[in-house]
Structure 1
């Protein structure tokens, strides 16, 4: 009898079991970390070395999707390989693309001519998949997650985070207002949601595909546009061909910038957003003064 009481005492005094929320990509996890307390463990499904555009999941990752107390992802339209796994889940899930009012940009390739490649096999080619770079989309996601999985939310969340996000975006847009018309170059174009939110000009884009560069004719055309538009700022994603960017724009200030946040030590979304905005400001200001 005494041993039974000891067991019951140990169970009652033990800390509550942690719940796990799995986010498909790191920027979604950054939002979730801002909302939940220590009773909820937030993990990112994709590893830093995995390409979300050519996604292949390990058995361990597939198991993580099944066992998560909540699964948060972009949706089948842009994360098709995840769809069958999420469909087999017993627990709740939140798909950003399934939320009413989500902001979708076109695939982002209509500024190119003569390219028919689809960079995202299995994806909806009409939707730019980098939805996490829209602050409005992340505020929408925070609200949906808070309703779907309220256990473990910090006091005042998600409303406090949504207000902080709106205030920060307004402040950063104001800080960049004087640079809004400065031209810039991007190897790929993952930045549409963010540059639109910040009120920046559309960039000159080198290639629709991260793993391919422009042909010789396209390169000559781009070099002429760089010269004629006096482009002096280039954003360099981790997968971009740095040497090609340098040849294309030898006078450019090059700003390394990762749209997936893999190079950032910031664990939460708003500090990471501040880093991205500061990177834009540094590059555009250097170009404007050059």
Structure 2
């Protein structure tokens, strides 16, 4: 009887379940993990082994969207396949693109987040909005207001200040490399390179599923030679052989704009990792 009483007391004093916040992509989840304590479980809808360019949601993912205590996503303008699921939700949601002051770059390349929007609305927003630190500071504030339950003490204000401080430090660290030319297979890095004060890269292809034609290849090879490009950033979807043919002398730096290959669970350590990757590539090129 005493054991039964103790068990009942423990059950009454313990939370039956934690609240769940679902982020559409991993970088948004990295921000959320920085804000919430152990009483909130943060999960990522897009799995690491899912093809981000031909996205189809499983029944489990559909259920996750419906049951989440909070859904955080980029917005219908760049995540069109997710919009109907969010529209059917009963609980609160935060869409980055709906926030006042969000920074949008022009885009236009084929990507899972913007392909459907381009086809139906002619939108040209670069979908990699999470690579703007200013956008993530804005998102953190909106999430804190919309879903304050479970926030760590001092959040989101402490994280916002830390993000602004780190961005300034990274810009200063990379300032000597700001004019070093570099090559990217496509251009997911615009928000980040602009935030860090880096030069715009030479872009191999505007579409992930299509390489440059022969005339474009010759032009690119000439630009690589004339600009003395020695740094190539290799996204997971990049055609490595093509990059090496274009720039045989390049230092090749693998980086993932979606953070799928990173062991860093929070955004600011991941930002430092990306910045260090760019620094290593550009520094190697600058020393040649």
Task: Specify the TM-score bucket, using the shorter chain as the normaliser.
Answer: over 0.9
Where 1:83 maps in the other structure, the secondary structure is helix
Where 2:117 maps in the other structure, the secondary structure is coil
TM superposition shift of 1:227: 0.6
Question: Where does residue 15 of structure 1 map in the other structure?
Answer: 15
* TM-score with structure 2 setting the length: 0.94
Q: Unmatched 5+ residue regions in structure 1?
A: 110-116
2:186 to 175, 185, 188: 188
TM superposition shift of 1:209: 1.3
Q: Is the 8 A contact 2:111 2:208 kept in 1?
A: no
TM superposition shift of 1:12: 2.1
Where 2:94 maps in the other structure, the secondary structure is strand
- Residues 249, 38 of structure 1: alpha-carbon distance in 2 compared, 3 angstrom cutoff: same
Q: Unmatched 5+ residue regions in structure 2?
A: none
Deviations 1:207-234 (A, max 9, x none): 0111211111110010001011111100
Q: Is the 8 A contact 1:108 1:189 kept in 2?
A: no
TM superposition shift of 1:53: 3.4
Question: Where does residue 26 of structure 1 map in the other structure?
Answer: 26
Question: Where does residue 195 of structure 2 map in the other structure?
Answer: 197
- Partners of 2:21 and 2:219 in 1: CA distance: 47
* TM-score with structure 1 setting the length: 0.93
TM superposition shift of 1:50: 1.8
Q: Is the 8 A contact 1:16 1:39 kept in 2?
A: no
- Partners of 1:18 and 1:190 in 2: CA distance: 35
TM superposition shift of 1:13: 2.1
How many residues align? The count is: 283
User: RMSD in angstroms over aligned alpha carbons?
Assistant: 1.9
- Partners of 1:218 and 1:270 in 2: CA distance: 37
Question: Where does residue 146 of structure 2 map in the other structure?
Answer: 148
Q: Is the 8 A contact 1:185 1:235 kept in 2?
A: yes
TM superposition shift of 1:260: 0.4
Q: Is the 8 A contact 2:33 2:266 kept in 1?
A: yes
Q: Does 1:218 align with 2:212?
A: no
1:121 to 115, 130, 141: 115
Deviations 1:181-237 (A, max 9, x none): 110000010000000000001000000111211111110010001011111100000
